[in-house]
Amino acid sequence: MNIKYCSDYNEMSQLSCDSIVSDLKKSPKQLICTATGNSTTGTYENLAKAFNNDSRLFNELIIAKLDEWVGIEPNGLGSCESYIQEKILQPLEIPQNRYISFKSNPVSPQKECERIQIEIQKKGPIDICILGLGKNGHIGFNEPTNTLTPNCHLVELTTDSLNHQMINDLNIKPTYGLTLGMADILQSKKIILLLTGLEKKEIIKELLSKQISTNLPASFLWLHNRVECYIDSNSV
């Protein structure tokens, strides 16, 4: 894991954006898997600025959604879909045929996972996977547990995930999520991990200890040979 300590959130966001843009300049046809949340927002905002400077870089970019809450309206308050539409797809002008997305209200979650797996295999492998870190050490909705699931799956959410700021204002909160699995993430050619937030200080410290455990899913990123980890120094 290549760790870069950044002076603040803004530098973290800019450096991670620069890394993505550099790869796009070398090869515009990239499949990028995108997480949602505050950790990644600054990176996406900087990508939007890069698009305004040279939109041609993004003409072949394919976006895949990392995860989604189950049982909420696709474009409703708190959905990962609405976040990605607002922060990524619209600013970068990504059409539907260059977007792989979990449905938030599938009739069959199992079949939805199978569909996403097929789409990733057809258009993949994932070139860049952009990740934040959950307060409990999850990545995507791969939650701390005794065992981890390799591919797309339905997962029962932990209390920490249910207290996520994205769904704080919902009257009825989802209890399940859909997510790419650990093998899907680790098969990415490159992973960008963004660590920020004072409330994550202890879990960041635990991650940096390099001890690998299913109770800290993000620790499995130590097994990948190309992880760029950008740390907001105000968080450690």
Mind telling me the catalytic residues? 67, 136, 138, 143
* Tokens coding 36: 């949602």
Q: Which amino acid is at 102?
A: F
Residues 57 and 88: beta-carbon distance below 8 Å: no
DSSP annotation of 47: H
Going by C-alpha positions, the residue among 65, 1, 44 that lies closest to residue 228 is: 1
**Angle 9-26/38-53 helices, nearest 10 degrees?**
50
- In the numeric block, the tokens 């996520």 are attached to 164
Maximum Cα interatomic distance, the chain, rounded to a whole number of Å: 47
Strand partners, 31: 62
Considering only CA atoms, which of 65, 67, 61, 68 is closest in space to residue 92? 61
* Tally of CA atoms within 13 A in the half-sphere of 123 that contains its CB: 21
Kind of pairing between the strands at 176-179 and 153-156: antiparallel
